Amino acid sequence: MRDESTILRAAARDAAIRTEAATERLIARATDERLVDVALGETDSPIGRLLVAVTRRGLAAIVFDGEDRDAVLERLALELSPRIVTSPEITDEVRRELDEYFEGTRRRFEVRVDRRLMHPFAKEVLAATSRVRYGHLATYGQIAARIGRPTAARAVGAALGSNPIPIVVPCHRVIGASGRLTGYAGGLERKERLLALEGSLLPTT
């Protein structure tokens, strides 16, 4: 005969399974009825675990491991919608393309992008940055010139630092005029590893 602690553990496990199943049903129903405004998903990568946020318009955010995720979730709730759920199904396409990118089989992302978390100047900067191709680099000054503001290299750097969709919007491909790697929200080590993956920079660490 099983002792009381074994029975309690089994009951707790069964309750957890039922709760998880119920949660999955609720999320599926909310998705079917278009009640989900922001879907979250996670994926592993060579530069750490990534959190992605997807809306009906497209990918709205990618968050690096170690960033303040609570602050990001609060911003999503305030600026997009508080109706946020975890949904592997809705985020599957984004996570698949990221996996392919890190495996070296994808050079261009095809997922739609939701730019609502970008302020107007940043939208200009990041649109120009999106045209920097895989394996290529641009300087802050070059991006500034491309948007018709050749003296705004410093402002361009600030806009890139606020990029809510790193990797897919490739701010890591923008470097200093001297060729130095400067300024990356995910840290210079991640920037270096992304550029090494793309073959535009030899790893030094």
C-alpha gyration radius of the chain: 20
Q: Which phi and psi angles does 139 have, rounded to 5°?
A: -95, 165
Laid out side by side, the sheet with 50-55 consists of 58-64, 50-55, 38-43, 84-86
Residues in the chain, overall count:
205
Give the Cα separation of 56 and 113 in Å (integer): 10
User: Active-site residue 171, yes or no?
Assistant: yes
Give the Cα separation of 86 and 81 in Å (integer): 14
Active-site residue identified among 117, 167, 171, 197: 171
At 38 the three-state DSSP class reads: strand
**Looking at the annotation, which residues are catalytic?**
171
